[in-house]
Amino acid sequence: MNCLIIDDESAARAIVNQLCKNEGSLNVLEQFSNAIGAIKYLNQNEVDLIFLDIHMPDFTGFDLIQTLKNPPRVILTTSDSKLAIDAFEYDCIVDYLVKPINLPRFKKAVDKARKFTVENNQETKETAESKEEAQQLYINIDRRLIKIEIPSINLVEAKGDYILIKTKEKNYTVHSTLKKIEEKLPNDLFLKVHRSYVINLKRIIDIEDNSVLIGKDVIPVSRSNRPELMKRLNLL
């Protein structure tokens, strides 16, 4: 893990730096004697972990954390054992080391930071996969399941016992109802503008009277659905 050491005492910085070397998996990118210099660095560079002293002149460790929009994991290093409760009000703080720091306790704190990093990466991956799945729709055509990227759908038209799904590249006729597919489409992107049509709001080219143009298709807009359509548009 790439890390920073922030402490106004040079001896304290040297000790933490040596502990990082002994631990083996930590790469100390920079060391700072004050929070201001560290903030400037963090605004331009990403790190995995910060070893941060609480009591520093002018700008405390807590001040530094509050300044950062997305602070990395933080292990506090301090001589003051009375601020532990305050420290854990911050989600980014994974441990609280009281000086003098010994190697076993240091390793335990680093293991916590590593565990948080792994769990966070897993959550990020799962969230991304979940969002990707939410952007996909499978339709049954001749006993085959065909995947459609939902944002690529221009409109859906009801045709008796079937629906016609028009995308940028291709059209699909599916045995289903407009209501059923409407339930599977994201409300922020699609809107039912007529009893026979659901449209992708992002695909609207033009609006005139009681109709909208999507691609080459002129879609009627019912009087009852027009107010909601106008409400959803980003009008100047």
Helix (H, G, I), strand (E, B) or coil at 27: strand
Q: What is the mean pLDDT of residues 37-58?
A: 92
Do the two domains 2-132 and 136-232 of this chain adopt the same fold? Answer: no
Number of alpha carbons in the 13 Å side-chain half-sphere of residue 70: 6
Q: Which CATH class is domain 2-132?
A: alpha beta
Q: Which CATH class is domain 136-232?
A: mainly beta
Contact 78, 99 (CB under 8 A): yes
Residue 16 has pLDDT above 90, yes or no: yes
Give 81's DSSP letter: G
Dig out the tokens for 133 from the structure.
């799945």
pLDDT value, residue 39? 92
Helix (H, G, I), strand (E, B) or coil at 75: strand
Interval 70-123: pLDDT, tens = 899 999 998 887 877 777 788 899 999 999 999 999 999 999 988 876 666 565
- Show me where the domains of the chain are located: 2-132, 136-232
Residue 234 has pLDDT above 80, yes or no: no
